[in-house]
């Protein structure tokens, strides 16, 4: 019976969220534009464009943003095909899907980021 309880009790890793990442060909232009229209999300994308990968906390546009708001921004960026989130131990790591996104929407991300920095 003790053996069964070991198998039946899930570890914390099994409880970690699994993220859905859409195929870029399934992402409509209006969703991509909506994701990039928010200044906080655009700031997050700019941070990711400047580095190879960032944890959720490091991708945050500011320190005072509530975790629930940050989580929602990341969810929308994932849904728009802009980022990929993977698990590295206990951390969630975000990377910009730039080459895939650029193939789907040529020049869009570059133009939006250039406009932001100007």
Question: Per CATH, which fold does 23-117 belong to?
Answer: Arc Repressor Mutant, subunit A (1.10.10)
Please report which helix (H) or strand (E) contains residue 22, including its range. Answer: none
Q: Token pair 């994932």 is at which residue?
A: 78
pTM, two decimal places: 0.81
Q: Which residue has the higher pLDDT, 3 or 57?
A: 57
Residues 103-115: tens digit of each pLDDT: 999 999 999 999 9
Residues 9-34: tens digit of each pLDDT: 455 545 555 778 899 999 999 999 99
Annotated domain spans of the chain: 23-117
CA dist 27 and 66 (Å) reads 27
> What token pair was written down for 16?
């970690």
């Amino acid at each position: 019976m003790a053996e069964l309880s070991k198998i039946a009790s899930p570890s914390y890793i099994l409880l970690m969220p699994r993220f859905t990442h859409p195929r870029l060909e399934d992402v409509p232009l209006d969703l991509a534009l909506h994701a990039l229209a928010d200044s906080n999300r655009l700031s997050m994308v700019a941070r990711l464009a400047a580095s190879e990968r960032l944890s959720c906390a490091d991708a945050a546009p500011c320190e005072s943003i509530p975790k629930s708001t940050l989580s929602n921004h990341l969810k929308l960026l994932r849904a728009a095909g802009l980022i990929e989130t993977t698990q590295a131990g206990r951390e969630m790591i975000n990377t910009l899907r730039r080459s895939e996104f650029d193939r789907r929407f040529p020049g869009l991300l570059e133009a939006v980021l250039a406009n932001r920095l100007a």
